[in-house]
Structure 1
Amino acid sequence: MTHVFLFSYEIPINEEDSEVKIIGVYSALENAEKALLEYQKCDKFKDYSERFYIGKWKLNKDFWSDGYVTVTL
């Protein structure tokens, strides 16, 4: 296995910010899509299905190598 599929959901906090919640990590895209179909049936999520995301992630790889960035406005 070289990749996993991360299934997540975005929750808006305000007009500019949001928070991402990880629902699950799956070994195959088909498994993540099956979970997505189940969550879309839930009353809590059925009107917001556009906020779900399935991403393919390579194993044994760093994805955040730049470190923190400070922005002053």
Structure 2
Amino acid sequence: MNDRVFLLWHVHHVAEDESGAVRHFGPAGEFSADEEEGDDVKMLGVYSSRENAMAWIDRAKELPGFRDDPECFHIDEYTLDEDQWTTGFTTV
């Protein structure tokens, strides 16, 4: 059994950096999404392999909206039954 899953996300970016350019990536080159600044984050699916997620990206790039932001797909990899948020939280 595969103990890994692949979450596929798409972000329609509108958040701007300090220069006023739309921000797609953070300072270290990591994928960026800021819903508080207006980025529209959509989870498109959960897949059993990176290849299956990539196949959906290929199909989605032909669809309205997605084809306008073809570089804004992101795949996160997770292990099943593994806690992801283990530190609690506070409300500000």
Query: Shorter-chain TM-score: what band?
Result: 0.7 to 0.9
Which structure shows the higher strand fraction?
A: 1
Going from structure 1 to structure 2, the CA distance change for 1:43 and 1:20 (only over 3 Å counts) comes to closer
3-state SS of paired residue (1:7): strand
Match status 1:55 vs 2:65: no
3-state SS of paired residue (2:70): helix
Normalised TM-score (structure 2): 0.64
Aligned length: 71
Unaligned runs of 5+ in 2: 17-36
Aligned to 1:46: 67
Normalised TM-score (structure 1): 0.78
RMSD: 2.0
Which structure shows the higher helix fraction?
A: 1
Offset at residue 50 of structure 1 (A): 1.9
Unaligned runs of 5+ in 1: none
| Identical pairs, percent | 35
Offset at residue 43 of structure 1 (A): 2.2
